[in-house]
Amino acid sequence: MNNHHATIGNLTAALLDVRSRTLALVEGLNEQQLLGPILPTVNPLQWEIAHAAYFHELWVLRHLGQQQAIRSDVDALFDSISIQHEDRWQLPLPSLSETFEYMNNVLQAELLQLKSIELNDTAKYYYLLALFHEDMHNEAFTYTRQTLGYSKPSYIQGNEKSELSFSHAQTDIKIPGGKFLLGAERNGEFIFDNEKWAHEIIVTPFKIAKYAVSNEDYLEFVEAGGYQNKKFWDHISWQWRCENELEHPIYWKKDADRRWTARQFDQWGILEPTHAVMHISWYEAQAFCSWANRRLPTEAEWEFAAAGDPSDHACGVVQKRVFPWGNELRNDHANLDSVNLGTVAVDAYPQGDSAFGCRQMIGNVWEWTASTFLPYPGFSPDGYAEYSRPLFGQTKVVRGGAWTTRGRMLRNTWRNYYGPARNDVFAGFRTCAK
């Protein structure tokens, strides 16, 4: 959803929708599961759902609406900036019923305020910021359930398995390169601070894979001894592999019949050969590329391949599409919004191809790029200054969204970022010719 679509009706529907999904993501979990073990990659779910509501209160009610805090203790309990990660398990959290009551009070106050304020660009910005922040936490709740081996969320009714397809022989697409505006333009749409602003770059010609790397592609690397051979890993990534004792992707194992299986939430199933490989760290993606004599695309190459429209030039600059397939969000053009239980075959959704013919550059799996997450020229933080700035230089850029990402958030310029060791998130990759 962008500013042009942010009406009172649409925002109300979206806020009710995201909250129902948040509640569905903790449905059926007991007290012990809602707290969970202390891990660096997850939060206690009971804390995190309240934090998502607190973010709405902080920015929409208190910052935008100048209202008083609903509870006197919320800053001390739910402010992620001031509360150290490992301390979140030790907080005197309200009971689950009190947490739900607080979350509902915030939501009702937010909906009430929506009817009484002028819905100008500033108001739209803070409402959308809080909505998308909760959307992002919904994705985190989903991978938390995966990390901790909880059952699949109840609302995912989608296909257990997509149609198997064996037509996806990896092919490279020649991208001509040229002058290109990397980043988001000033067009009145909601954007995050790290997308500001579009700036002209020159992309040299390159070749990028039509499809993301599939499980069967990656399995070749595993079975060729890729995890045992130090020459495919740099010093830091090899150290990471050894410390984590990884011989293959984190959620893979061989069953009694020596067949490869993968864990999805609390269920083990036969590895789907044609599906996009997922839960791969940047280190593993780099090692695969080294073995295959390939490389990861840079962030600029990725955006050029996803957004560039070779038929449309203005003043010598390649024009951009909002989505790979065009300028309107089409949820049926990509594996988004948890309509499927997990990934699909890498050649599915041909209707979502980019102008150059690259498939699934939105949805299915986040795709690692070679690029370190850095500010664009002239970067300035928005009101929520901690969104991007603390992560610059520390993380790697992923692009495109995953099967669980909400389509209303995404577009070709959307930048996400994870530490290079993260193999718990819904990330895979595609490669470029060297």
Q: pLDDT tens, 124-139?
A: 999 999 999 999 999 9
- Pair (276, 403) in one structural domain: yes
Average pLDDT over residues 83-109: 97
Q: How many residues does the chain have?
A: 434
- Pair (175, 143) in one structural domain: no
Helix, strand, coil percentages (3-state) for the chain, rounded to 5, are: 35, 15, 45
Q: Looking at residue 85, what is its pLDDT?
A: 97
From CA 231, how far away is CA 246, in angstroms rounded? Answer: 16
pLDDT band at 414 (very low <50, low <70, confident <90, very high): very high
- Pair (328, 367) in one structural domain: yes
pLDDT band at 369 (very low <50, low <70, confident <90, very high): very high
- Pair (267, 311) in one structural domain: yes
Q: Looking at residue 310, what is its pLDDT?
A: 86
Residue 159 is assigned to a structural domain of this protein: no
Tell me which DSSP letter residue 352 carries: G
Task: Collect all residues with Cβ–Cβ distance below 8 Å to 116 and sequence separation of at least 6.
Answer: none
- Pair (133, 211) in one structural domain: no
Q: Minimum mean pLDDT among 8-12, 95-99, 154-158: which range?
A: 154-158
- Pair (131, 188) in one structural domain: no
Q: Say if residue 157's pLDDT is above 90.
A: no
Tell me which DSSP letter residue 387 carries: T
State the CATH number of the domain containing residue 318: 3.90.1580.10
Residue 232 is assigned to a structural domain of this protein: yes
From CA 251, how far away is CA 148, in angstroms rounded? Answer: 11
Q: Say if residue 363's pLDDT is above 70.
A: yes
Out of 113, 147, 181, a domain closes at 147
Task: Collect all residues with Cβ–Cβ distance below 8 Å to 223 and sequence separation of at least 6.
Answer: none
Q: Looking at residue 159, what is its pLDDT?
A: 63
State the CATH number of the domain containing residue 31: 1.20.120.450
- Pair (230, 105) in one structural domain: no
Q: Looking at residue 160, what is its pLDDT?
A: 52
Percent of the chain with pLDDT over 90: 92
- Pair (107, 191) in one structural domain: no
Q: Which of 57, 77, 76, 75 is nearest to 67 (CA)?
A: 57
Q: Encoding tokens for residue 117?
A: 């304020």
Q: Say if residue 190's pLDDT is above 70.
A: yes
Residue 157 is assigned to a structural domain of this protein: no
Q: Looking at residue 5, what is its pLDDT?
A: 85
Whole-number average pLDDT of the chain = 95
Q: Which helix (H) or strand (E) holds 429?
A: none
Q: Looking at residue 46, what is its pLDDT?
A: 97
Domain count, the chain: 2
Q: Looking at residue 326, what is its pLDDT?
A: 97
From CA 4, how far away is CA 197, in angstroms rounded? Answer: 19
Q: Looking at residue 168, what is its pLDDT?
A: 65
- Pair (66, 200) in one structural domain: no
Q: Say if residue 290's pLDDT is above 70.
A: yes
Out of 114, 147, 180, a domain closes at 147
Q: Looking at residue 24, what is its pLDDT?
A: 96
- Pair (129, 200) in one structural domain: no
Residue 154 is assigned to a structural domain of this protein: no
- Pair (142, 219) in one structural domain: no
Q: Looking at residue 110, what is its pLDDT?
A: 98
The sign one gets for the Cα dihedral 98, 102, 103, 105 is positive
Q: Say if residue 166's pLDDT is above 80.
A: no
From CA 33, how far away is CA 30, in angstroms rounded? Answer: 5
From CA 159, how far away is CA 165, in angstroms rounded? Answer: 15
Query: Buried b / exposed e across 312-332, counting CB within 10 Å, b at 16+?
Result: eeeeeebebbbbbbeeebeee
Q: Encoding tokens for residue 317?
A: 């600059």
Q: Looking at residue 167, what is its pLDDT?
A: 60
Domain of residue 249 covers 169-434
Q: Minimum mean pLDDT among 165-174, 230-239, 345-354: which range?
A: 165-174
Tell me which DSSP letter residue 212 carries: P
Out of 147, 177, 197, a domain closes at 147
Residue 429 is assigned to a structural domain of this protein: yes
Percent of the chain with pLDDT over 70: 97
Average pLDDT over residues 360-374: 98
Q: Looking at residue 122, what is its pLDDT?
A: 95
Reduce the DSSP state of residue 144 to 3 states and report it: helix
- Pair (198, 345) in one structural domain: yes
Q: Looking at residue 163, what is its pLDDT?
A: 54
Q: Looking at residue 311, what is its pLDDT?
A: 84
Residue 155 is assigned to a structural domain of this protein: no
Full DSSP string of 52-86: HHHHHIIIIIIIIS-PPPSSTTHHHHH-TTTS-GG
Residue 28 is assigned to a structural domain of this protein: yes
pLDDT band at 362 (very low <50, low <70, confident <90, very high): very high
Q: Looking at residue 66, what is its pLDDT?
A: 98
Q: Cis before residue 197, ω within 30 degrees of 0?
A: yes
